[in-house]
Structure 1
């Protein structure tokens, strides 16, 4: 993964001036901040979101700062509504230059809990996958068309698709293993973002479009007044420590699974108990004696 130093983040931001950006899910969070930054550097922002009030506030804030933005209520799981979003961009501004499939939701429903109605299993809630995965596929597929509409092949224009990844794209084997063990579905579509990235010919030499995959990684809350140059170093150190821990967790998860298959559950559980007992004995002074 390419790491960009703090002082290089906006080196090419001037290329955004007068570019038309279609972004989904910009009513709040990462999408909202992205839209604000894009507009700050002169981009014309087209927002699609189900949160009407939040998206309109983003548009109002952009316009108050002197930028240009429009909004259309859009459910990214509905193909026709996404088509309407892209049509709005071309009719309003004449082209589409950058597409950001950002819309996403947290876990909706509980995949590993089966519910029943009239004695029969009820269909699981798959909205997490529909929004985070199918919605992103729809947006990317439309980008492949609209980025080329009325485009001058001789002109030096910026054309790009920016897919949103996750820290999970760095630990796909571990994430997949834990998913099978019952973790939420939320990160799975973000991992799929890496697959979409690889499957859509991300070579500007062949299709003229740059495909970018950003890994948002762990989220650390930093008060605005404390956000300054160098803060990314602190965040990177925390994130790297977290990823290292996740990798170690995956290793021991696989090791215990293998030992359980080879030796049987009773022996493995006995071994775990002995390890815990030894850890307690080695740190008994720190932990204190039981009363």
Structure 2
């Protein structure tokens, strides 16, 4: 990991000039600070927030400072609301260049305790998943489309999706099971989409702040955290902007950690592969290495034996064998004969 000093977080912010940013949850906290900073560097900001009055205040503050912004009431758990948000950005500014699905909630309900009614367990409150995961999934899916709207073929214009994870993307939070699950999933989304986005010259990143002094943190949790250095909101906003604007392709698909009130740290893609991650990655790489060899075909045939009806399997193998190299035909034929004799 490498530290990103505060004075480096905005090194590439000039790339924001006239870029169109769609951001959710910018009525307060991290989202509001990020929107203000984006606009101060020339971005056109389109805000979607359930707190419409708060979002309008953010817009007013941006406009008062000479920037350009607008907002729309948006419940991120409602697909049509998010579509309307992206459509507004295109209708007003002609494009979407950066997407930041920032809206989020803390652990809602009490998943760790089972509640009973009439002697039977009551369905748990899953609003945390609805907002923190499904809302992000909706925005990410829409980003796949809207980041390409009115984009010239081969264009190198800045395009980015910045997801908001958490320290809970990497460790478990006691009494925060669904929050932890949602933030683990957000990191997984970033890692899964990186190859696609990279091929299309679109940046993707995930920001992982420790607890910050924002409205999302319950008062009880703030009491527990009293005396512990918290991540600062301005630094988190700077990390988001750095992730979106850094032109170095080696930083695409990376995570940025903000563990406390110290500097942000960039985690290269390769450093995701530690501990259990490293073990899984090693096994995956080993499978890829033998994919073209005899062991692959042994496993391939064994799995087909398990999955397919016998007649379909034999017919398919015979047809496929006709296209294989002579080196592999003998091995496959052996397993066909073995299966037919069963």
TM-score if structure 1 supplies the norm length? 0.71
The 1-side partners of 2:103 and 2:182 are apart by 11
Question: Per-residue deviation at 1:118?
Answer: 3.2
Aligned length: 225
- CA change 1:6–1:203 in 2 (3 A) is farther
- Relative contact order: is structure 1 or structure 2 higher (C-alpha 8 Å, sep ≥ 6)? 2
Instruction: Give the SS at the match of 2:91.
Output: helix
Structure 2: segments with no counterpart, 5+ residues = 213-229, 235-257, 266-342
Structure 1: segments with no counterpart, 5+ residues = 225-231, 240-291
> Does the CA contact (< 8 Å) of 2:210 and 2:260 recur in 1?
no
Match of residue 188 from structure 1: 181
Question: Per-residue deviation at 1:192?
Answer: 1.4
- Runs of 4+ that moved beyond 6 A: 221-224
The 2-side partners of 1:136 and 1:38 are apart by 20
Within-5 A mapping of 1:229-248 = 235-236=261-262
- CA change 1:131–1:223 in 2 (3 A) is closer
Within-5 A mapping of 1:3-22 = 3-22=3-22
- CA change 1:54–1:96 in 2 (3 A) is same
- CA change 1:117–1:102 in 2 (3 A) is same
1:45 and 2:58 aligned: no
Within-5 A mapping of 1:73-88 = 73-88=73-88
Question: Per-residue deviation at 1:114?
Answer: 2.0
Q: 2:205 aligns with which of 209, 212, 215?
A: 212
1:139 and 2:139 aligned: yes
Match of residue 286 from structure 2: none
Question: Per-residue deviation at 1:223?
Answer: 11
Instruction: Give the SS at the match of 1:200.
Output: helix
Question: Per-residue deviation at 1:204?
Answer: 4.9
> Does the CA contact (< 8 Å) of 2:232 and 2:261 recur in 1?
no
Match of residue 122 from structure 1: 122
- CA change 1:142–1:36 in 2 (3 A) is same
The 2-side partners of 1:98 and 1:207 are apart by 14
